[in-house]
Structure 1
Amino acid sequence: MTARTFEKFKSLFLSQVSEHLLQLRRRGTSLNFWLILLTDVALLVVAYFLSRYLRFDALHLAKGTNHYTIVLLLILGIKLPIFYLFGLYNGMWRYTGFRDLQRIVGAALVASSVIFMIMTLANRFQGFSRGVFIMDAVFTILFICGSRASIRMALHRKCLRREDRGVRRKRLLVIGAGDAAEKATREIDDNPTLAYEVVGFVDDDPAKAGLRIHRIPVLGGVDDLPEFAAQTRADELLIAIVTLTGPQMKRIVELCQQTGLPYKVLPGLGELINGRVSVSSIRDISYKDLLGREEVTLDQDQIGDTLRGKTILVTGAGGSIGSELCRQIIRFAPSRLILFDSSEENLYAIQMELLHEYQVADAVPVLGKVQDVRLLDMVFSRHRPQVVFHAAAYKHVPLVENNPWEAVYNNIFASQLLIEAVIRHRVERFVLVSTDKAVRPTNVMGASKRLTELLMLAYARNSWDGGFSPAWRRVPETAEPAPYRAEAPHHDTRFMAVRFGNVLGSSGSVLPLFKRQIELGGPVTVTHPEITRYFMSIEEAAQLILQAGSMGGDGEIFLLKMGEPVKIDQMARDMIRLAGKEPEVDIKIRYSGLRPGEKLYEELITEGEGIVPTGHQKIMVLGSDGICFTDRERMFEELLNLAGLHDAGGIKGILKQIIPEYRPYSEKGSNFGLVNTKAKVIRN
């Protein structure tokens, strides 16, 4: 060891000793510290005395008093400092858990090993029994662990007595007898502020019937839930099975409704960070539970390689999809997250959520429109994003249908400006968030998203020859700020789009509308009794967008498997029942007719597209012949001019010329969509 290394080691050792002495000095003023220390001394004395007593007779004990005193002082002098170094006097013993007991066992074994070593080196155990020291180690573990557990139990009972004064605890019958149910029960038992008392479990596994979890019996199967609810005099039901399918959840909900008791559910594992189950996560049943989507399996390494340590920009970051993308992205430790949104309220909400709930301090909010070319260049120059997720778009079909010029500005033109900014600033990867309404569109919103997909394909490095004039050339000269004036070079950016259906709970979803209508007493408005849609949860959509974005090579349109289509009429009826009402009895359902541009059945792929499987079971990739834009410059010029004139009919006419499969609503009359076309679907 060199002198420099020795000095470094000496400095480190002295600093550690100084720190421990300082902590000991602070703890020396605590009454609890001295009580615990004196208790440990007494227990260690008893442990050694009991070990000798069990090994020898009373006469032998009396003869070895001197040796007994010396060895006892040695034991105390070794065990107490080691206990302190293991942190046995730093804990709050009212919260003693399994890890604390593990630490006690480790400290006791280390201390006993040191004693054995000293005794062996001193006199090789001559005149001493090894059995005494072995039993002493065992008794030390039992006594110290027992004392800590007793402290926790005493304080817990005291808290329960205090909380129970004048408070009636609700009798809770738990549906499920697995890990989630056990953890929820343990938290209820440990937390005196939770006014619940678990009175039993029901589970479909016949092998669990008659068993007990924390002294509480598993009564039987779920089919007998109404009988067990009456037998236990339960006040409330808790569904504590986190891997239920949609049909399984519907069955359990129907049984819960038969009892007439209120019922709640623990969220699925996809909603719980690292699968941790907590009673604080208990919530009312939602339609998402009845949908029963399978938990998404992600290739964490592949996504991590795409996002970890990089600067990520999300447009529409305050929206439903954009905000969930941000929540999912931060799991992969990006170096910086740029939040781009035109809504002040939404942008502030996601910034505060990331800061206070996820402790993400390096999330940069940018308030502005994607159409602002100068702002785009400033943001890209300052922060140098390496991956861009483009989720900003107008997506409410009726609103966009009545204001089609906004679709031109915000969906089509803004996307092209962003794509060109991405190319100019040499971004590594661009992911466009698209929609199933881009398939054979019947409305302006779907047509605008389809045109955005085609633009993405045109600019992809595999197909773009630089012949398409940059979008900034079509920015009106009066626009503020002035457009950036530089040609987009040939590039290495990878472009891809992700297409999927409706998202539960998004701002454009029917669920918030139905929920509000039910709260007001009805009626619930459904456009048509046969209308169907594909649905997935926001969490699933965001996770699969990240997965597809990490898989893309260049110029692909990825399709997320949406499962089976859902009847909107049945969805409305299920939501009414979840609210404790009966459809057509307590809450009426009214059919309002299809809205302008609305399809009866949604499609997932269009003619000319072929699907190819990917390495992920829930993601497919679409093959397409693409589209050449070099001869469509005039159409884009005219489209922008018509948007400036707010000419709705003209905009639709130009969109139809660019996108031949687009059939505006006005062409079909009010009955369009009532006949199911041969839609191509992709199911799980």
Structure 2
Amino acid sequence: MKINFKTYILVGTDIVIVWASVFTAYFLHFEGRIPKSHYADWLSYTFVSIAVSTIFMILFNLYKRVWRYSSIGELISIIKSVSLSSLLSFAITSIVKGQLLPVSLMLSIFETTLLLMGGVRFAWRIARDSYNKRQSSQRKALIIGAGDCGTFIAKELKFNRNSEMYPVVFIDDDPKKHKHQVLGIPVLGGKDQIGEVVERFQIDDIIIAIPSLSKRGISQLIDVCKMTKAKLKIIPSLDDLIHGKITIKEIRDVEVEDLLGREAVKVDLEGIANYVENKTVLITGAGGSIGSELCRQIAEFRPKQLLLLGHGENSIYSIEMELRSKYPQLELEPIIADVQDRNRIDDVFRTYSPEVVFHAAAHKHVPLMERNPAEAVKNNVLGTRNVADCADKYGTGRFVLISTDKAVNPTSIMGATKRIAEMYIQSLNHTSRTKYAAVRFGNVLGSRGSVIPRFKQQIESGGPVTVTHPDMIRYFMTIPEAVQLVIQAGSLANGGEVFVLDMGEPVKILNLAKDLIRLSGFEPNVDIPIHYTGIRPGEKLFEELLTNEEGLASTKHNRIFIGKPAHVNRSELEAEISKLEHVLRGNKEYIKDLIGHIVPMYRTVEQWESKELVKS
């Protein structure tokens, strides 16, 4: 039914109510029989009341209210409207008649009109409420937080026919709300009661509706909720709701990111703006998980020109279209190029003269690079050399290499090649005007090919979820927070540093898998089995963030640390890389031997294990 038609029906109903109220008042005043001599008074009072009442109902926006959400505010508006219209109608009719009408007549009309107008509207709400309560197909929801946000969500779920959930109980830590009702929904205690309430009411979904709660508080709350069999959901952040970025319809599932419990990264906006704003910025690997997020965040700092360089045309096109839509004034230049092609990279630098370079292009998949070591060398070592050399040649101000914790005491080809890339930019720093720095961090949640998306796919398929080893541990960080810290680290660079990001506490992969299963509303090894597949080639049980030689020093940012710049002889390193370049068509073992010669700490997992056994 269209809203205009609904309004006509409501206006028509009010006209009938006013007519009936005036008639009833006159009928009772004259004890069941209105004298013919008073017909004119009755009719004029009726028409005046209808006209005045309609005007006041419109002035108080009572025809624009959504009555299924009616509350005390609507009742007050009705009282004001009926009171004023009754007084004005009484005054006008008395003036027209030339004498004061009985006050009891006005009071009777006021009472009847108020009772009927309010009654019709609230009866409509009660009827809708009762109808919705009968929807047995809806999932039962527990809402954590009986404040304004929780109440708003409860209303939406309660009165929306299309909602898959129906709120049956609130949980709130405020003891003043306990044993009370909000919208007819009981508040049954604090978070310590969650498990009992879920079991008692057979809750299907838990909705965390406390947008002002800190990330650590949310993480602690999730730890309690994930022990139940209910599926967890969370409302958008308070800032997003206030600024209208997200609608209430987008109540989302709780993600692994929420489990980390880390507060938002605080960045030095002035420091970042000083080296990015109004500069030509080149991002290699711009279509990848890290590269595309770098593009999004750097675009916020108004660079003069943003160069999006990548090998895959589809991913570059995708990030270009996204940025053009969001930042129509930003000058963008999509560049399809392979960092392994030295002439092409030289041409890019000669044409655009980038002042800041973020080098994110790399091969990162450990098992794949174990099988294809030559490709890891081409992309991670030679590709970095090409871009870094051009930055030196064309006077780039800053060069930031995106590195990895797998470069520390590497047991994989991927990690070892990234370590060589770090060593190469450190060797350039001694003679170049360009400030070279590397930023090293661990796994990022949600990146392509990472463990989280794979776990989610396996859960959606009904399992099993595959974990390589029950004791495997990794550091995790969200892509946006990792990129914010990378950009921040770039502002701190003086040249030659390896910056290390604070990744928080390491996470056991097995626990991560179990949490994801629980967050999806299933029980690990009951609904979704977990299988162990064994450690893959090149993988370690745990990762490190610093070599023994680098040490650790703090910076002015509490989430960024710095390893001491290493002295790397450029000519010697270039000679070793040249040898490596000439044997890329040879067998894998010869390539690995040469890599081991360049990176003395490189050992296979088996070599590291045997070394530890000898020590013990």
Query: TM (normalized to structure 2)?
Result: 0.71
**How far apart are 1:360 and its partner, in Å?**
6.6
Report the more deviating stretch, 302-311 or 173-182: 173-182
Q: Deviations over 1:520-567 (max 9, x none)?
A: 333222221111111111111111111111221221111001111111
**How far apart are 1:616 and its partner, in Å?**
1.0
Partner of 2:601: 661
Distance 1:622 1:543, change over 3 A: same
> Would you say 1:248 and 2:241 are equivalent positions?
no
Report the more deviating stretch, 428-437 or 264-273: 264-273
Distance 1:274 1:301 in 2: 24
Q: Is the 8 A contact 1:494 1:555 kept in 2?
A: yes
Partner of 1:223: 192
**How far apart are 1:315 and its partner, in Å?**
0.9
Distance 1:495 1:256 in 2: 50
Amino acid at match of 1:459: L
Amino acid at match of 2:544: E
> Would you say 1:500 and 2:472 are equivalent positions?
no
Partner of 1:328: 297
Matches within 5 A, 1:386-535: 386-460=355-429, 463-464=430-431, 490-491=432-433, 493-535=434-476
Distance 1:192 1:659 in 2: 64
Tell me, which stretches of 5 or more residues in structure 2 are unaligned? Answer: 5-58, 67-120
Amino acid at match of 2:278: G
Distance 1:190 1:386 in 2: 56
Partner of 1:615: 556
Amino acid at match of 1:287: V
Overall identity of the aligned pairs, in %: 43
Distance 2:353 2:149 in 1: 44
Report the more deviating stretch, 546-555 or 282-291: 282-291
Q: Is the 8 A contact 1:494 1:553 kept in 2?
A: yes
Amino acid at match of 1:297: K
Report the more deviating stretch, 506-515 or 535-544: 506-515
Amino acid at match of 1:614: T
Q: Deviations over 1:403-443 (max 9, x none)?
A: 11111110011111101111222222111100000001111
Residue 548 (structure 1) aligned to one of 478, 482, 489: 489
Amino acid at match of 1:416: R
Q: Is the 8 A contact 1:608 1:624 kept in 2?
A: no
Q: CA RMSD in A?
A: 3.9
Distance 1:673 1:349 in 2: 47
Distance 1:422 1:554 in 2: 13
Distance 1:179 1:244 in 2: 19
> Would you say 1:637 and 2:560 are equivalent positions?
no
Partner of 1:583: 524
Report the more deviating stretch, 423-432 or 302-311: 302-311
Partner of 2:116: none
Distance 1:639 1:189, change over 3 A: same
Distance 1:657 1:304, change over 3 A: same
Tell me, which stretches of 5 or more residues in structure 1 are unaligned? Answer: 1-30, 32-87, 96-152, 465-489, 679-684
Distance 1:384 1:587 in 2: 54
Partner of 1:176: 145
Matches within 5 A, 1:240-389: 240-242=209-211, 243-245=214-216, 247-254=219-226, 256-257=228-229, 261-267=230-236, 278-356=247-325, 359=328, 362-389=331-358
Distance 1:641 1:321, change over 3 A: same
Q: Is the 8 A contact 1:526 1:590 kept in 2?
A: yes
Q: Is the 8 A contact 1:632 1:658 kept in 2?
A: yes
Distance 1:542 1:416, change over 3 A: same
Aligned length: 496
Q: Is the 8 A contact 2:426 2:566 kept in 1?
A: no
Amino acid at match of 1:239: I
Report the more deviating stretch, 278-287 or 220-229: 220-229
Q: Deviations over 1:274-295 (max 9, x none)?
A: 7966424422122222232332
Query: TM (normalized to structure 1)?
Result: 0.64
Amino acid at match of 1:651: I
